[in-house]
Amino acid sequence: MRADFLDRFSRLDSPIHRLPAGVKVAGALAIIIATVLVPFRFHSFFISIAALLLITAALSRIPPRFLIRRLLLLEPFVLGIGILMLLEPNGLRIFLVFALRSTLCLFTMILLSNTTPFSKILAVLRALHTPALLLTILALMYRYLFVLIDQTQRMRRARLSRTFTPSRTRTWKHTGTLIGQLFVRTSERANRIYDAMCARGWK
């Protein structure tokens, strides 16, 4: 399994990892809501949030390089949409405040997802009375996500090793066919999983 780059450190052992998931989820939510709502003139609030996050990161024993890489990887997605603000007359200030807020929120979520296994988050969601069907789908999705990403990468590699002159139209056609093929395999896998679930007494 090579696709563990997404939440690789969620199963480390550290004081932060050992905290109950509910506490971490509530804490992250509180930090994010406060970061979004508190007016920017309270500079000390933002500084203390940043300090709190850095202390948490240090205590969690997640390699700092990983956290920085992850932050840099996701930042374009966050800031890309912020370009809209730069179109405004005095948009630079709004944009910079937004960049600060969204970066703090992003860092909070990166810490949460890398200190809490997804199954624990699902348990929190279950305690909050999330509908059972949604929980089943989320659990199945997470469990097979990595399998399907691996499968996609294998199919892509196989395709690349056989395609010597990639042109744009070909790439489109190949990507489309690959996704189609992936769905066919996914649905076959889903049928096998259903049989296996029934065999083990599901529902």
Partner 1 sequence: MHIPDGMIDAKVAVATAALAAGGLGLALRQARIDVSPRRVPLMGLAAAFVFAAQMLNFPVIAGTSGHLVGAVLATVLLGPSAAMVVISAVLIVQCLMFNDGGVTALGANIFNMAILGCAVGFAIYHPLASLFPGRRGQILAASFAGWCTTVLAAVMCAAEISTSGKASWSKALPAMAGIHMLIGIGEGLITAIVLVSIARLRPELVPDNSPIASSPPRYAVAVAYGLLISLGLALFVSPLASKSPDGLESVAQKHDFAEKPTDQPLLRAPIPDYKMPGISSAALATSIAAAAGTLIVFGLSFVLARILVPSATPPTEINPHAR
Determine the interface stretch with partner 1 among 14-22, 47-55, 57-65, 100-108 (rule: CB under 8 A): 100-108
- DSSP character string of 9-46: TTT--SHHHHS-HHHHHHHHHHHHHHHHHS-TT-HHHH
- Please pick, from the candidates 131, 164, 165, 201, the single residue that binds partner 1 as defined by CB under 8 A: 131
Count the Cβ atoms, other than its own, within 10 Å of residue 166.
11
| Residue 106 found at the interface with partner 1 (CB under 8 A) | yes
| Residue 19 found at the interface with partner 1 (CB under 8 A) | no
| Residue 178 found at the interface with partner 1 (CB under 8 A) | yes
Query: Residues 35, 49: contact at Cβ < 8 Å?
Result: yes
CB of 136 to partner 1, least distance (A): 6
| Residue 128 found at the interface with partner 1 (CB under 8 A) | no
- Please pick, from the candidates 12, 78, 120, 123, the single residue that binds partner 1 as defined by CB under 8 A: 78
Query: Residues 22, 168: contact at Cβ < 8 Å?
Result: no
Count the Cβ atoms, other than its own, within 10 Å of residue 111.
24
Give, as ranges, the residues between 133 and 162 that touch partner 1 (CB under 8 A). Answer: 133-134, 136-145, 147-149, 151-152, 156
